[in-house]
Amino acid sequence: MKEHLKFYIDGEWVDPVTPRTLDVINPATEEPFARISLGSAADVDKAVSAAADAFEQFLRTTPQERVELFEAILAEYGKRYEEIAQTISTEMGAPIWLSNAAQAMTGQMHFSTAMQILKDYQWEEQKRSYKLRKEPVGVCGLITPWNWPMNQITCKVAPALAAGCTMVLKPSEVAPVNAIILAEILDAAGVPKGVFNLVNGDGPTVGEALSGHPDIHMMSFTGSTRAGIQVARAAADSVKRVAQELGGKSANIILEDADLKQAVSGGVSQIFQNSGQSCNAPSRMLVPANVHNDALEIAREVAESTKAGDPFASGTNIGPVVSEVQFDKIQGLIQKGIDEGATLVTGGTGRPEGMNVGYFVKPTVFGNVSNDMTIAREEIFGPVLTILPYETEEEAIQIANDTPYGLSGYVQSGSVEHAQEVAAQIRTGNVHINGSGPDFNAPFGGYKASGNGREWGELGFEEFLETKAVFAPRVA
């Protein structure tokens, strides 16, 4: 078992103030593979102090100096790419093909995107009677989850660095080792001491200490809506900025004019990707009532051809979910769907056949779901798809919006123009039409209980900036 018992504070690997350890579990084997230390408020104080001291110098670096720093970071990241992918597959269960193609890749893309924004960004603009300036917000507290760990770390760290901020990161204690590798990368690239700091720990201890710390100017949080509310409450007393990317229960509207087989197959495959552990997963599929039964058969075929297994084995489509807690939650919600009268098309409770170890969940499809059922309301965060019939397009839009969340939406249609008209009526921060994927330059974030603020691209970069108006007398 590897031990990672130190925190990265002020450019050094240091022991925690009070020793306390936690085993990191491989969800495919249920066995510990690493051990970390859990921090305390005292560790947070040390890290924030280092970040505050470093900010006075780092905010004065030029954009070109930070571009050169990003070039060094990307070079170091490339050297560790394979290790990052393997680590993510081991600690949170993503199949290695997904870790290579997406989980690890997102880190490179966020640093590359932030670097390009930094090259082109206009920091000052002369208005009629004043000059508009953009400046770094200051010391940032970053709290990230386990499901797309490197993605959600780097979409905060990269723009914060580019903006000239300093930071303290608390990654998920469930999947922390990739963050430790990133700290080593930043150190090797020459990030000045105190600019980036890492303290491992849990939410009630380290997360609470960060959120309420008077010397942190901004909190950026990704995680559950419940935890996001706690971060905002803790941050309120010091009136710091809070950016939140929270939960989702995204609708995938398949319109009458869509290719049913293509649309349903694509939607099923997407909800199962990453074992359903994506906040923007299209977990509610809305289909015309007259083809509902056909959609169920298509979904059954795709689900039953989806292989759950060892993340490092060839042919594995989905790995385990991340933890016993997550496994038990998903099992309870699957049973709730059965108890509330939804049609279990395939899957169900328990592990897939022949699997006795690991937090593996059967790829599951429910049909005849109504939007008041628990499985249509709550974020399951597992490989579970709910299919809801609708009678009219207006009803489909109403169902899509009938949720506390507003992160993503999906529309499938034979006409992109038609899909655009529907997309305009969906109350979400993102809408994907006909299988269109993400763009690292586009903003990511949600409406309603899915959070506030935006990540990714230029808008995500600007979250880490303050706006200043400078007034001066006109020169004759």
**What is the pLDDT, as a whole number, of residue 160?**
98
Indicate if the alpha-carbon torsion angle 58, 62, 64, 65 is positive or negative.
negative
Whether this model's pTM surpasses 0.75: yes
Q: How far apart are the C-alpha atoms of 166 and 15, rounded to whole Å?
A: 21
217-237 in b/e form (b: 16+ CB < 10 A) is bbbbbbbbbebbebbbebbee
pLDDT over 70 (residue 202): yes
State CA 264 to chain mean position distance: 25
Instruction: Provide the percentage of residues in the chain whose pLDDT is more than 90.
Output: 99
Task: Report helix angle 177-189 to 149-163, nearest 10.
Answer: 30
Average pLDDT over residues 90-112: 98
The residues with which 466 forms a beta bridge, in sequence order, are 135
Residue 130 pLDDT greater than 90, yes or no: yes
Asked if pLDDT for residue 476 goes beyond 80, the answer is no
| pLDDT (0 to 100) of residue 475 | 67
Cα dihedral across residues 184, 187, 193, 195: positive or negative:
negative
- Tens of pLDDT, residue by residue over 64-88, are 999 999 999 999 999 999 999 999 9
pLDDT bracket for residue 124 (50, 70, 90): very high
Does 474 score more than 90 pLDDT?
Answer: no
Tens digit of each residue's pLDDT (9 = 90 or more) over 330-374: 999 999 999 999 999 999 999 999 999 999 999 999 999 999 999
pLDDT at 473: 87
pLDDT mean over 261-276: 98
**Phi–psi pair at 121, nearest 5 degrees:** -70, 140
3-state secondary structure of 404: coil
How far apart are the C-alpha atoms of 279 and 276, rounded to whole Å? 9
pLDDT digits 0-9 by tens, 51-62: 999 999 999 999
Q: Are the CB atoms for 414 and 256 separated by under 8 Å?
A: no
How does pLDDT run across 389-442, given as a tens digit for each residue? 999 999 999 999 999 999 999 999 999 999 999 999 999 999 999 999 999 999
Residue with tokens 């869509």: 258
The crossing angle, in degrees rounded to 10, of helices 149-163 and 81-92 is 130
Q: Which residue has the tokens 């309603």?
A: 448
Question: What is the tens place of the pLDDT at every residue in 243-252?
Answer: 999 999 999 9
Q: Which residues pair with 287 in a beta bridge?
A: 389
Asked if 86 and 93 touch (Cβ cutoff 8 Å), the reply is no
* Residues ≥6 apart with Cβ < 8 Å to 293: 367
Q: How many whole angstroms separate alpha carbon 196 and alpha carbon 431? A: 34
Active site residue 245: yes
Exactly one of 279, 455, 462, 463 is catalytic; which is it?
Answer: 279
Considering the candidates 91, 173, 208, 245, report the single residue annotated as catalytic.
Answer: 245
Q: Is the pLDDT confidence value at 238 over 70?
A: yes
Mean pLDDT on 98-110? 98
- pLDDT reading at 281 higher than 90: yes
Residue appearing with tokens 């204690």: 173
Q: Are 433 and 105 in contact (CB under 8 A)?
A: no
Strands of 241-245's sheet in order across: 12-14, 7-9, 196-198, 166-170, 139-143, 218-222, 241-245, 451-452
What's the pLDDT tens digit per position in 317-342? 999 999 999 999 999 999 999 999 99
**Once rounded to an integer, what is the mean pLDDT over residues 199-226?**
97
Residues whose CB falls within 8 Å of the CB of residue 152, separated by 6 or more in sequence, listed in order: 144, 145, 222, 245
The mean predicted confidence, pLDDT, of the chain is 97
Is residue 364 within 8 Å of 386, Cβ to Cβ?
no
> What pLDDT band is residue 379 in, cutting at 50, 70 and 90?
very high
Rg of the chain in Å (alpha carbons)? 23
Distance CA 384, CA 471 (A): 56
CA dihedral over 281, 286, 292, 294, signed as positive or negative: negative
